[in-house]
Structure 1
Amino acid sequence: MIGYVTLGTADLVKSAAFYDALLGTIGAKRFMEEPNYFIAWAKSPNEPSIAVAIPFNKEPATVGNGTMVAVVLDNPEQVDAFYAKALELGGTCEGKPGFRPEGASAGFYAAYFRDLDGNKLNAFCIVEG
């Protein structure tokens, strides 16, 4: 089971503002922070978390090809709202909200976007038919 995911950033302040606003919509708050290095958010300290960090090796942050972080939500309305908030905050679309495969009416409902550093994220829920 995943405990946390860390995403690299080139601008910790900008990234922090993005994730404060976005993750705040689902009740996640900062719970761990080291100035000028990293910030982590979770709904509670004992739940999985998402963190952003300046790379430890001081090399430029890069996006992992094929890497994606998925955030599980309760229903399609939450997925839609989370995705819309990400775009409002400057994120970019990588796949509009909807069922996958396209045309399905139950199952995997998801939306894809990239954050301000280009990291790919997914918001999803499972809808029973």
Structure 2
Amino acid sequence: MIGYVTIGVKDMEKAKAFYAALLEDLGAKVLIDMDRIAMIGKSMQEPMLSVCIPYNEEDPHPGNGNMLAINPGSKENVDKLYQKALELGATDEGEPGQRIPDMFYGAYIRDPDGNKVAFFQFG
């Protein structure tokens, strides 16, 4: 149902490098790269992440309550993505751990532009 999610960024090159490196182990790469917008994913037929300079060219503003959530397929991969994000310049918003017993395992970061991202695994 979801085709892509877009987040605003200040520096396209930095954002593309951050997300391409972060998601490469999941098979993602930059699929479309235009001046102010880039699409990152596995294929054009699967959900993608779009990073863009806002159309009005004003500073992007991460929304209060907005969050991008990525399911990497296992608790171990949640841990790996969380650590990799920190190594790539993200800040901690919640270390990996079981949030809801036997149901939800998650970790949270803020990307270099302040966008909140969750890595999660159900079950």
Please state which band the TM-score falls in when normalised by the shorter chain. over 0.9
Q: State the Cα distance separating 1:75 from its structure 2 match.
A: 0.8
**Cα pair 2:71 2:119 within 8 Å, conserved:** yes
1:58 alignment partner AA: E
RMSD: 0.9
Other structure's SS at 1:25 match: helix
Deviations 1:56-81 (A, max 9, x none): 11111111111000001211000000
Deviations 1:67-115 (A, max 9, x none): 00000121100000011000000000101101113xx2x2111100000
Give the gaps of 5 or more residues in structure 1.
none
Alignment equivalent of 1:123, drawn from 108, 115, 119: 119
Is 1:68 the equivalent of 2:105? no
TM-score (norm 2): 0.95
Alignment of 1:97-108 (within 5 A): 97-101=96-100, 104=101, 106-108=102-104
Deviations 1:10-32 (A, max 9, x none): 11111111111101121111111
| Bigger radius of gyration | 1
**Cα pair 2:78 2:120 within 8 Å, conserved:** yes
Runs of 4+ with deviation above 6 angstroms: none
* Partners of 2:17 and 2:41 in 1: CA distance: 15
* Partners of 1:16 and 1:30 in 2: CA distance: 7
* Partners of 2:19 and 2:62 in 1: CA distance: 17
The equivalent of 2:23 in structure 1 is 23
Deviations 1:106-125 (A, max 9, x none): 21111000000000000101
The equivalent of 2:44 in structure 1 is 45
* Partners of 1:22 and 1:34 in 2: CA distance: 20
Other structure's SS at 2:114 match: coil
Other structure's SS at 1:14 match: helix
